[in-house]
Amino acid sequence: MSNGEEHRLRRKVIMKAFNYEALERYVPIMQEIMRESVQRWCGAAQPVMVWPMAREMAFRVASAVLVGFQHSDEEIQHLTFLFTNMVKNLFSLPVKLPGSGLSNGLFYRKAIDEWMMNHIQRKKEFVLQGGDSGDVLSHIMNTAKDNGEKLSDQEIQDTVVELLFAGHETTSSAATSLIMHLALQPQVVQKVHEDLEKHGLLQPDQPLSLEQVGRLTYVGQVVKEVLRRRPPIGGGYRRALKSFEIGGFQVPEGWAVLYSIRDTHEASQIFSSPELFDPDRWTPETSQAPLARYDMVTFGGGPRACVGKEFAKLQLKLLCVELTRRCRWKLAEDKLPDMKFLPIVYPAGGLPVIFTPIGRKSQPYDRNKNDFLHEKERTRDKGSPVLCSVSFEKDINVAM
């Protein structure tokens, strides 16, 4: 992790790759990938396991837009497998023994590096020849070249892994939550439909622009509520710049402070009925957004707030649009899914969902004839450890 001046300069470079003009360039690429994914789901004869499929879709977007790599379906599946297993071992004891979580995580990280090496070498040659494919990695490498800096192979590898990890893990979690909540709230889907109809964007094959997506007020409210109700990451940490007191406890200067994003949202005094999924809480007339700076912390805050937050929200908006104007969907099981919370939020059983193209009637589904229920017995996760149920207060001087 970069710190101090190095972090500030690196963040400044990356932020340019997520400005309005850059996001406008990314929209057609992202929309095409999501369109293909939704069409594939609608064409499935059996329920689609949304969680793994959302991971593949988000990885495909991250690979194309963030690092400019083109992969076959087989490569995407393999790389998603490698990243999934690396992430599984993130929260492991720092003990490097055969079969330990740390050893497994390092094994999969090495496999990722080896797989990416050829792509990175081609990217370096392309950039050295003056090429710019418009992706985030090209922007970072060209900026370094223009400044007379030379990025080492290890620095490029680390950047690629960081971009791919940050660009698909949390987004796939949020995409899965979006599909789940809308399956449970048909009246919300109807309002999204009305939002699209109001702006003349109901045609399935109609290309979208960033400006058009920005006009979809209700779609934005839905995405914001998904991120409030199901933040992909449970918490984070910061370092106290000076000693302070909170809840009767003293926190000395220099201590690491863990905070819970989910508990902050749920314990907030700003949100009425915070346990409910209610996009209308974000309507322009009654929006709680101006009051929620310290109560809605999905993307963190301060100098270390998520630099790609607008990119992530744009993906979710595009997915919401493509789903609503192409299909209808419902959960394949009668009960709510058991949720896991580490390292990110995801449904334990994969979230089987039945997708039906608009214009075709949904057929009854016989669960007894399908394999997806014949899995090992699922265990309910009681939730991740509570890190710190704290709403950020203005008078707490914590380094963000």
Give the predicted TM-score (pTM) of the model: 0.83
320 is in an annotated binding site: no
* Cα first-last separation, the chain: 14
Q: Of the spans 105-114, 185-194, 235-244, which averages the highest pLDDT?
A: 185-194
Domain count, the chain: 1
Is residue 17 situated within a structural domain? Answer: yes
Is residue 360 situated within a structural domain? Answer: yes
Which of 104, 120, 145, 318 shows the shortest CA–CA distance to 223? 318
Is residue 381 situated within a structural domain? Answer: no
Distance from C-alpha of 88 to C-alpha of 165, rounded to nearest angstrom? 12
Is residue 195 situated within a structural domain? Answer: yes
pLDDT at 396: 32
Is residue 40 situated within a structural domain? Answer: yes
Tell me the average pLDDT across 155-183: 89
> Domain limits at 87?
4-228+299-367
Is residue 383 situated within a structural domain? Answer: no
State the DSSP string of 149-190. ----HHHHHHHHHHHHHHHHHHHHHHHHHHHHHHHH-HHHHH
Which of 303, 365, 388 shows the shortest CA–CA distance to 46? 365
Is residue 281 situated within a structural domain? Answer: no
Is residue 34 situated within a structural domain? Answer: yes
Cβ burial, residue 395 (10 Å; 0-12/13-18/19+): exposed
| Whether the predicted pLDDT of 399 surpasses 80 | no
- For 347, residues 6+ apart whose C-beta sits below 8 A from its C-beta are 50, 51, 176, 180, 337, 338, 339, 340
254: left (phi over 0), alpha (psi -120 to 50) or beta: left
| Whether the predicted pLDDT of 263 surpasses 60 | yes
386 pLDDT tier (thresholds 50, 70, 90):
very low
Tell me the pLDDT tens digit for each residue of 46-63.
999 999 999 999 999 999
Tell me the average pLDDT across 89-109: 86
For position 169, which CATH number holds? 1.10.630.10
Tell me the average pLDDT across 23-37: 95
